[in-house]
């Protein structure tokens, strides 16, 4: 009798571990995720390597309709397979955006962001692969809103949208 109880215990432990892994996966996919940033496209907001950020996944696909111009979003890069990026949201459906790099000679054509899409840019325009390269980003590729820097500890804290709405700025004056 004791021997059969001992044999059943590893199965129980494996089952509980599997349940925990599923719960963590669902939490990270649909609620909140933490991950590392890399690359120069978001300098100076994030370092080229070593920053870790927290992403609120409830903003995926803008289903809560709370994403605003100036927010940082994590998204699936449409021109790479299984790669995510972080960029600043600069255009929502119906907005007009400049297709080129501001201040540079050349393409200064404006387009209207189509319904169901958004326009994202890196903070470091000269080193960013963003909507200027791949065009309007489908909202379906938005995975969440980046809300906090987790590491390095000395710079950790909530990330705030640097832009104010017109109503907010008028109230302050």
Q: Which of 19, 87, 128, 169 is catalytic?
A: 87
Identify whether residues 43 and 103 lie together within a single domain. yes
Domain count, the chain: 2
Q: Identify the domain containing residue 41 by its residue range.
A: 31-162
Distance CA 39, CA 92 (A): 25
Whether the CB-CB separation of 75 and 82 falls below 8 Å is answered with no
Considering the domain boundaries, does residue 171 fall inside one? no
41 catalytic? Reply is yes
> 103: left (phi > 0), else alpha (psi -120 to 50), else beta?
left
Please report, in tens digits, the pLDDT of each residue of the chain (173 residues total): 445 554 557 777 787 787 778 777 766 776 678 888 888 999 898 888 889 998 988 877 666 568 889 999 999 998 888 889 999 999 999 999 988 776 676 667 889 999 999 999 999 988 899 999 999 999 999 999 999 888 888 887 888 888 866 565 555 54
- Given this model, what pLDDT does residue 115 score? 94
Chain Cα centroid distance, residue 91: 15
Whether the pTM exceeds 0.85: the reply is no
- In this structure, the answer to whether residues 105 and 124 fall within a common structural domain is yes
Residue 79 and residue 17 share a domain: no
Is 87 one of the catalytic residues?
Answer: yes
């Amino acid at each position: 009798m004791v021997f059969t109880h001992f044999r059943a215990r590893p199965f129980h432990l494996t089952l509980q571990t599997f349940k925990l892994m599923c719960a963590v996966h669902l939490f990270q996919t649909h609620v909140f995720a933490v991950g590392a940033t890399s690359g120069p496209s978001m300098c100076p907001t994030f370092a080229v390597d070593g920053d870790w950020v927290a992403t609120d996944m409830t903003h995926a696909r803008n289903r809560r309709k709370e994403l605003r111009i100036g927010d940082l979003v994590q998204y699936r890069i449409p021109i790479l397979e299984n790669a995510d990026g972080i960029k600043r949201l600069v255009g929502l459906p119906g907005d007009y955006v400049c297709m080129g790099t501001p201040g540079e000679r050349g393409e200064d054509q404006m387009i209207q962001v189509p319904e169901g899409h958004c326009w994202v840019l890196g903070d470091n325009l000269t080193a960013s692969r963003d909507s200027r390269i791949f065009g309007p980003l489908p909202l379906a590729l938005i995975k969440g809103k980046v809300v906090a820097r987790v590491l390095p500890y000395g710079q950790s804290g909530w990330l705030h949208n640097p832009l104010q709405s017109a109503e907010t700025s008028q109230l302050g004056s």
